[in-house]
């Protein structure tokens, strides 16, 4: 039974109009709810009072005070039961639901059937279409001989807006031999207990699971970073790694590869306090342990950063709608920032974020910085920008994104 003082999980009410009536769709940002209910203004008022402090009687009294209308207690209790059944309320039922999800060795493809096709054949056709599009790069390339790429920076915007950018990014990556192990560093949109959140579970996709590398995980834990496994729940509804898992299964086909899924926080406390994330003790510890795990694996490792760039406009709490002139300025600032990415200049990249307090809301900030630092620890690397793009977002806003590849370069030699 739901608590007598129900607490609603963090939701995002989306206002919609239907037959002249204002309604609200209750969106679950972490995509764990069984449904996205549409409620009236009156019901939304009740939902806002589900803060763990109000009883049904309290809600009835407050509702009457604000609306001058009497509401039967059974109506309130019925709404609470519905929300609990949909896993929108905190409490025992939600905890049991999450525990059941986490008990599986496979993290299910949360966004299949929504953000992309759930049927394997239909998904391949969908992705094929991105490559075959008029402004696409053409079919996947044939890999050349030599070593794999050291890294890939791929968008994590939804496929229907980032489609061609995904295709160009992974077409460029497909020219290189496949790695044995892909370490995916994705943006955590909803917060982490730690800066890094490693998942032990394989990511499911309609094209088959992307198997997690158990040996690499064991190395991370053995060398003292067990704390990095505290955020398994954060992976459940997160799309930034899921979309990369789909692309990797598409690109790698039947080639046996493994992966390590890692969510990365935003380091925004460092921005506020004027510190570099790389100076933090846990960042340094994780980077050192990561390097040891790579060496112990004996595998060819490629890092994949699942990231987007600027989020600008009223949809992201900015006061002004985005004009064409503003979009052009965002692109100029993005490209200046990306020049640091191409140079593997992690601190230069961070400086572009820190100088204005992350005014452009770069949601890939954490994974990009971490990827640049980790790549630069093991020999010279150069980056190549493959594709830059912007897409419309609600309320006259925009999101920008880019794809890049990172390859090893020969160390310079000097005369004796």
* Successive 10-residue mean pLDDT values, the chain, 416 residues: 87 88 90 87 95 95 94 94 94 91 93 96 98 96 86 97 97 95 95 93 98 97 96 94 98 94 91 92 96 96 98 94 97 97 97 93 95 93 97 95 93 48
In a domain, 65, yes or no: yes
The residue among 164, 167, 136, 161 whose CA lies nearest residue 392 is 161
Express each pLDDT in 153-181 by its tens digit: 999 999 999 999 999 999 999 999 999 99
Which residues, in sequence order, are CB contacts of 113 under 8 Å at separation 6+? none
**Nearest-angstrom CA–CA distance, 83 and 8:** 8
In a domain, 106, yes or no: no
Q: Which residue has the tokens 């094929």?
A: 128
Q: Are residues 160 and 245 in the same domain?
A: yes
Q: Are residues 92 and 131 in the same domain?
A: no
| 3-class SS string, 137-187 | CCCCCCCCCCCCCCEEEECCCCHHHHHHHHHHHHHHHCCCCCCCEEEEEEE
In a domain, 415, yes or no: no
Among 99, 130, 160, the domain-final residue is: 99
Q: Which residue has the tokens 């799309």?
A: 239
Q: Are residues 89 and 204 in the same domain?
A: no
**Nearest-angstrom CA–CA distance, 78 and 80:** 5
**Domain count across the chain:** 2
Q: Are residues 59 and 123 in the same domain?
A: no
Q: Are residues 86 and 138 in the same domain?
A: no
In a domain, 416, yes or no: no
**Nearest-angstrom CA–CA distance, 186 and 168:** 19
Per-residue pLDDT at 1: 63
Q: Are residues 17 and 163 in the same domain?
A: no
Q: Are residues 36 and 142 in the same domain?
A: no
In a domain, 112, yes or no: no
Which residues, in sequence order, are CB contacts of 228 under 8 Å at separation 6+? 194, 196, 197, 198, 220, 262, 286
Q: Are residues 43 and 151 in the same domain?
A: no
How crowded is residue 120: how many other Cβ atoms within 10 Å of its Cβ? Answer: 13
The residue among 314, 361, 366 whose CA lies nearest residue 333 is 361
CB 281 within 8 A of CB 204: no
Among 67, 99, 131, the domain-final residue is: 99
In a domain, 185, yes or no: yes
In a domain, 397, yes or no: yes
Q: Are residues 279 and 312 in the same domain?
A: yes
CB 322 within 8 A of CB 312: yes
Q: Are residues 202 and 341 in the same domain?
A: yes
Q: Are residues 167 and 280 in the same domain?
A: yes
Q: Which domain holds residue 338?
A: 119-408
Per-residue pLDDT at 334: 97
Partnered with residue 10 across adjacent β-strands are none
In a domain, 171, yes or no: yes
Q: Are residues 128 and 85 in the same domain?
A: no
Per-residue pLDDT at 2: 78
To the nearest 10 degrees (0 to 180), the angle between helices 73-85 and 92-102 is 10
Query: For the domain that residue 218 is a member of, what is the CATH number?
Result: 3.40.830.10
**Nearest-angstrom CA–CA distance, 317 and 361:** 10
The helix (run of H) or strand (run of E) holding residue 182 is strand 181-187
């Amino acid at each position: 039974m739901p608590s007598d003082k129900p607490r609603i999980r963090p939701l995002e009410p989306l206002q919609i109009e239907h037959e002249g009536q204002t309604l609200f769709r209750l969106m679950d940002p972490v995509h764990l709810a069984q449904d996205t209910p549409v409620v009236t203004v009156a019901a939304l008022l009740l939902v806002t009072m589900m803060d763990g402090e109000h009883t049904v009687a309290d809600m009835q009294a407050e509702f009457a005070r604000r609306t001058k209308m009497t509401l039967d207690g059974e109506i309130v209790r019925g709404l609470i039961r519905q929300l609990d059944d949909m896993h929108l309320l905190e409490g025992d039922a939600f905890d049991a639901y999450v525990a059941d999800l986490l008990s599986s060795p496979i993290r299910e493809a949360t966004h299949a059937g929504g953000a992309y096709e759930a049927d394997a054949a239909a998904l391949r056709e969908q992705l094929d279409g991105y490559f075959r599009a008029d402004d696409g790069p053409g079919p996947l390339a044939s890999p050349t001989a030599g070593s794999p790429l050291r890294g890939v920076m791929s968008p994590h915007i939804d496929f229907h807006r980032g489609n061609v950018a995904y295709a160009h990014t992974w077409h460029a990556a497909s020219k290189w031999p496949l790695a044995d192990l892909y370490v995916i560093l994705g943006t955590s949109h909803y917060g982490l207990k730690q800066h890094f959140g490693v998942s032990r579970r394989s990511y499911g996709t309609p094209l088959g699971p992307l198997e997690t590398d158990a040996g690499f995980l064991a190395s991370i834990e053995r060398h003292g970073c067990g704390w990095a496994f505290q955020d398994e729940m954060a992976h459940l509804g997160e799309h930034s790694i899921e979309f990369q898992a789909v692309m990797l299964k598409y690109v790698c086909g039947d080639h046996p590869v493994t992966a390590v899924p890692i969510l990365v926080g935003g380091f925004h406390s460092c921005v506020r306090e004027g510190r570099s994330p790389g100076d933090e003790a846990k960042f340094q510890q994780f980077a050192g342990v990561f390097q040891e795990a790579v060496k112990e694996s004996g595998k060819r490792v490629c890092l994949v950063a699942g990231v987007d760039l600027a989020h600008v406009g009223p949809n992201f709490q900015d006061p002004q709608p985005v004009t064409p002139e503003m979009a052009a300025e965002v692109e100029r600032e993005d490209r200046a920032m990306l020049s640091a990415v191409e140079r593997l200049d992690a601190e230069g990249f961070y400086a572009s974020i820190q100088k204005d307090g992350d005014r452009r809301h770069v949601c890939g900030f954490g994974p990009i910085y971490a990827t640049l630092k980790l790549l630069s620890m093991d020999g010279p690397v150069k980056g190549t920008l493959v594709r830059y793009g912007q897409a419309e977002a609600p309320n006259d806003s925009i999101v920008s994104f880019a794809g890049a590849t990172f390859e090893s370069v020969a160390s310079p030699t000097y005369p004796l």
